[in-house]
Amino acid sequence: MKKIEAVIKPFKLDEVKEALQDAGVQGMTVLEAKGYGRQKGHSELYRGAEYVIDFLPKIKIEVVVPDDMVASVIEAIQTAARTGKIGDGKIFVSDVLDVIRIRTGETGAQAV
């Protein structure tokens, strides 16, 4: 199993969610996040004063999928989240050693 974490622009959440559902993903965790990469934030004017906004709002999506679904899930996220502009985000893939469903005690792929 793999854990796929995607950091995307907030307005792309619905498109990514639909793409993941179409790819067969049954569940996901969504977190509000703030961060920056090459964007380095931006400046805003408020009441005549300039403020530097270092951390931009982002959405972090986490899904755990079987190994055979990884490529299709990554493709779905890339296609749905891409705007072609700086700040589109990142996708991280890591191994998951085990999963335990708290309610039933199921482990492994059955718990996902």
Cβ(66)–Cβ(109) below 8 Å: yes
Per DSSP, the three-state class of 71 is helix
Query: Given the DSSP bridges, would you call strands 49-53 and 42-46 parallel, antiparallel or unpaired?
Result: antiparallel
Query: Over the chain, what is the mean pLDDT?
Result: 90
- pTM listed for this prediction: 0.86
Q: What is the DSSP letter of 55?
A: S
- What domain count does the chain have? 1
Sign (positive or negative) of CA dihedral 26, 28, 61, 9: positive
Per-residue pLDDT of the chain (112 residues; tens, 9 = 90+): 999 999 999 999 999 999 999 999 999 999 999 887 776 666 666 777 766 777 888 999 999 999 999 999 999 999 999 999 888 999 999 999 999 999 999 999 888 8
Q: Domain containing 14: what range? A: 2-111
CATH number for the domain spanning 27: value is 3.30.70.120
For 11-28, write each residue's pLDDT tens digit. 999 999 999 999 999 999
- pLDDT score, position 39: 66
Distance CA 101, CA 59 (A): 25
The per-residue pLDDT for 43 is 65
